Amino acid sequence: MSSSPFDARRRAVSRLEASSGPLRDGYDVAMLDLDGVVYRGEDAIDHVAEALDAAIAAGVRLAYVTNNAARTPDAVVAKLRGLGMPTDDDSVVTSAQAAGRLVAGLVGPGARVLVVGGAGLVHAVEEHGLRPVESAEDDPDAVVQGFSPDLGWAQLAEGSYAVARGIPWVASNTDGSIPTARGFAPGNGTLVAAIATATGREPRVAGKPYPPLFDETVLRVGGSQPLVVGDRLDTDIEGANNVGADSLLVLTGVTDLDALVAAAPPTRPTYVAPDLRALAWPHPAVEVGPEAARCGRHSVLAVDGAVVADGAGVGADDHQGAVEVLRAAVALAWHRRDHVSGESTRRLDLGAIRAALEPWGVR
């Protein structure tokens, strides 16, 4: 896509980037993941609505970008508004929409597409003038697959029969798990794997971490300087790196501190923060060496396999301090893993950093 801001495409991240002013000032659109960033299950995450209102007031467009293909964009908009989140009618972009565009490019106008999934996929297929069908006996020209909590063996079997014929097969995403109120449950990736196992084929994938969903977002929402905001390293952050976009990882969802410091360069974010309020804060540069790192007023040290804060903990009202301690700890851990012999396979003890950031809920 010649007008895309993602022309640079794939890159790896070796160090955190810095922002001398509010982070949001450097970007014209925030591409926000939903579960784990904006809400958890059915409940809004604290402070998010206020942070997003402030971002809009500062001139940032919002795009809510989700790998969940089960619901239509209108249904997601309704949920967001019910939670008090600022949203326009067209600010939600789903992997189903990206999958619909991807499959439309593989078949002719009016083609029959077997939908293995829910209402979100049916709507996306129809949006591109394609005809959704429910059975391999309907002689489909392609198969599109996405998550639905109601998906059962019969639909998977129909998908397998059709995919085995060699026709195009597009998956909305391959997430291995989805968060629920009771914990993590099997995601669309497990359902895709069922058809792949039965047929010996692999699908084209539209959702994060692959480019189509990011390109779809630019087409629908616009923006020339995007910031991808997510809670998952292997979808949100790796996806941002796959298209050369800057990213902010927030620790309100799936990723904990251990996973963050152990991340390899392809899945490292360019910014990290305890929560979404960090859009309004500076992210000072980190001075880092083998044994210590300093960010703003705060330093951390490497001591006997542990990373410790050089000073007291960070209070619940010390927004800047929380960002600085977290950035220093992550920068030091990455530096040691990349440049200190033997550290790449060693599990660092981060208990002292968690204790320092306890008021911020960092796990």
For residue 309, how many other CB atoms are within 10 A of its CB? 20
Chain mean position to CA 277: 17
CB 261 within 8 A of CB 330: yes
CB 279 within 8 A of CB 30: yes
Sheet holding 292-295, edge to edge: 286-288, 292-295, 298-303, 306-309
Query: Looking at this protein, which amino acid is placed at residue 141?
Result: D
Strand 298-303 with 292-295, pairing: antiparallel
Structural tokens at position 172: 């909305």
Distance in angstroms (rounded) separating the CA atoms of residues 82 and 112: 36
CB 266 within 8 A of CB 238: yes
Which residues, 6+ apart, have CB-to-CB distance to 161 below 8 Å?
A: 136
Distance in angstroms (rounded) separating the CA atoms of residues 96 and 99: 5
Q: Compute φ and ψ for 356, nearest 5 degrees.
A: -65, -30
* Element spanning 335, H or E: helix 319-339
Active site amino acids = 33, 35
Instruction: Give start and end residues of each alpha helix (H) in 58-187.
Output: 73-82, 95-104, 119-127, 153-163
Distance in angstroms (rounded) separating the CA atoms of residues 251 and 345: 23
CB 123 within 8 A of CB 116: no
Distance in angstroms (rounded) separating the CA atoms of residues 79 and 312: 40
Distance in angstroms (rounded) separating the CA atoms of residues 136 and 157: 9
Q: Compute φ and ψ for 349, nearest 5 degrees.
A: -85, 115
